[in-house]
Amino acid sequence: MSAAPAEDVVRRWESEQQRLRLQLLDHDTESWQQNPDFSGLQRVGGVDLSFIKGDDVNACAQLVVLSFPDMELLYEDSRMVTLTAPYVAGFLAFRETPFLLEALQRLQENQPELLPQVVLVDGNGLFHDREFGLACHLGVLSGLPCVGVAKNLLQVQGVNKSQEHQSQIAALQKGGDSFPLTAASGKVLGKALRSSDKSVKPVYVSVGHKISLDTAVRLTHACCRYRVPEPIRQADCRSREYLRQHFPAADA
């Protein structure tokens, strides 16, 4: 039972995306981003929201900070939140960003020395209909470098699951291999990345804020033990674990 989103709300959201997009930086702004081995990078953040099965309003908002390059847990924050905005394709940020921002602000106030130097976000950045997905939204509002990593291909601006796309995937030989996701305009909006030797299905990486696409892809690969980069995977696992502990299933 999901009601169609009111169109005036969607129009407001579109103009908000357009306004915030003016502040987006799609190039490397940090010194560690230039180094071949990312020396100077010590903390990578990951964020996610997990839901209880029958409930799309109450969720666990999760922030983790991992060490780089070892991917060891430095900080963890799980918080039950009540969502207000519905999920509308293309407007995920309006549903999730407020709670991810709050988590970052709590960290800023309590242990600013643990603030991540870059955040990996579950979802798209510039690879988006209006080139302003969740990772861009969180990046601009937090001021932190952000990378969008989506587990599924969003079909935007002429990019789709064509035979050509499938064969490009088949041509990815090893972890770290990638190919560009090019819009009808010719602009490269993101890259499909084979994140590890073992996984065949790629992840879709795009710029969120304060990082270039090539650096974003390189960093994502450096954070992968499994298909999903460790900061996002940890945020996902730990928020689900939190729900299991605090809201045990009725049949368990």
Partner DNA sequence: GCGACAG
Partner DNA sequence: ATCTTGTCGC
Can you give the binding site for DNA, defined by CB under 7 A? 48-53, 56, 87, 89-93, 122-124, 128, 133-135, 148, 150-155, 161, 240
Cβ distance to DNA smaller for residue 11 or 161: 161
According to DSSP, the residues that pair with 188 across neighbouring strands are: 182
Minimal distance, residue 133 CB to DNA, in Å: 3
Cα–Cα distance for residue pair 232/122, rounded to 1 Å: 6
Minimal distance, residue 49 CB to DNA, in Å: 6
Cβ distance to DNA smaller for residue 41 or 233: 233
State the DSSP string of 124-169: -SSSSTTS--HHHHHHHHH-S-EEEEESS----TT----HHHHHHH
94 in Cβ contact with 17 (< 8 Å): no
Cα–Cα distance for residue pair 11/8, rounded to 1 Å: 5
Minimal distance, residue 124 CB to DNA, in Å: 4
Cα–Cα distance for residue pair 112/89, rounded to 1 Å: 34
Minimal distance, residue 193 CB to DNA, in Å: 13
Minimal distance, residue 88 CB to DNA, in Å: 8
Alpha carbon of 58 to those of 4, 82, 90, 245, 252: distances in Å? 20, 5, 21, 15, 20
Cβ distance to DNA smaller for residue 52 or 114: 52
Count the Cβ atoms, other than its own, within 10 Å of residue 130: 16
Cβ distance to DNA smaller for residue 70 or 250: 250
Q: SS3 letters for 26-40? A: CCCCCHHHHCCCCCC
Cβ distance to DNA smaller for residue 41 or 122: 122
Minimal distance, residue 233 CB to DNA, in Å: 11
236 in Cβ contact with 122 (< 8 Å): yes
Cβ distance to DNA smaller for residue 48 or 77: 48
* 3-class state of residue 252 by DSSP: coil
Minimal distance, residue 206 CB to DNA, in Å: 9
Sign of the Cα torsion 205, 207, 213, 216 reads: negative
What residue spans of the chain are helical by DSSP H? 7-21, 92-110, 134-142, 163-170, 213-222, 230-246
Cβ distance to DNA smaller for residue 74 or 83: 83
